[in-house]
């Protein structure tokens, strides 16, 4: 696996200054939550900095990369630049950095969530939503929940994501619904 410095430099070369700053903020939050939930801090740091590696790739390039690497993109992901980057980013991190399966799984599900997420995936999912550069209403409340009960934070964030999709009249990715139902039934 590549060193943190190598990953950070690669990520910085692929992202705008604003997106790179967001990635640094997510990295910081991932480390904070990894300490609380006894997760490998180096893995948390690496997934935090690299989670949006494919976010600013042109759509055509994303589609081509997905096809060349046999990445299954569903109908909803194909329509949304914001969703497609997660699976593509996970594959880039596997190829370029040698990330482990748990790390690539975390990156692949960081935008939608998915059923049966491990703790690293939950940490990245929440960190992406509550990093210090986020300014949505109640972000501090989500932070307080996250440091006390990670599963509850995931459930609340899934609910919030679904609510936003409904308000904005957007499709809801099936993994989000399945994950929400799983966490709701716990």
2-6, 18-22, 109-113, 134-138: least confident range: 134-138
Q: What is the pTM of this model?
A: 0.97
Model confidence band, residue 79 (pLDDT cutoffs 50, 70, 90): confident
Assess whether pLDDT exceeds 80 at residue 81: no
The DSSP code for 93 is: I
**Separation of alpha carbons 125 and 136, rounded Å:** 16
Angle at 158 between CA 81 and CA 70, to 5 degrees: 40
Assess whether pLDDT exceeds 80 at residue 46: yes
Model confidence band, residue 74 (pLDDT cutoffs 50, 70, 90): confident
Mean pLDDT, range 146-172, rounded to an integer:
96
**Separation of alpha carbons 16 and 27, rounded Å:** 16
Percent of the chain surpassing pLDDT 70:
100
Mean pLDDT, range 1-11, rounded to an integer:
97
Model confidence band, residue 34 (pLDDT cutoffs 50, 70, 90): very high
Mean pLDDT, range 24-44, rounded to an integer:
98
The DSSP code for 110 is: T
Mean pLDDT, range 86-115, rounded to an integer:
98
Query: Which pLDDT score is estimated for 104?
Result: 98
Assess whether pLDDT exceeds 80 at residue 98: yes
Assess whether pLDDT exceeds 90 at residue 125: yes
Model confidence band, residue 75 (pLDDT cutoffs 50, 70, 90): confident
Phi, psi of 57 (to 5 degrees): -65, 140
Residue with tokens 């409904």: 166
Model confidence band, residue 112 (pLDDT cutoffs 50, 70, 90): very high
**Separation of alpha carbons 15 and 31, rounded Å:** 21
Q: Which domains does the chain have, with CATH numbers?
A: 4-184 (1.10.3210.10)
């Amino acid at each position: 696996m590549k060193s943190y410095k190598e990953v950070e430099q690669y990520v910085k070369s692929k992202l705008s200054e604003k997106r790179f700053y967001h990635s640094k903020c997510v990295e910081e939050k991932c480390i904070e939550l990894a300490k609380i939930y006894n997760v490998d801090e180096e893995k948390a740091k690496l997934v935090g900095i690299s989670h949006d590696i494919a976010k600013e790739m042109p759509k055509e390039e994303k589609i081509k990369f997905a096809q060349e690497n046999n990445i299954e993109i569903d109908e909803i992901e194909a329509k949304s630049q914001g969703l497609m980057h997660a699976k593509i980013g996970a594959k880039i991190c596997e190829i370029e950095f040698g990330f482990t399966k748990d790390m690539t799984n975390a990156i692949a599900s960081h935008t939608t969530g998915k059923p049966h997420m491990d703790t690293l995936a939950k940490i990245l999912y929440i960190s992406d939503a509550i990093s210090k550069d986020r300014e949505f209403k109640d972000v501090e409340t989500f932070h307080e929940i996250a440091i006390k009960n990670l599963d509850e934070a995931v459930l609340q964030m899934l609910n919030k994501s679904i609510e936003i999709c409904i308000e904005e009249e957007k499709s809801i990715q099936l993994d989000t619904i399945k994950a929400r139902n799983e966490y709701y039934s716990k």
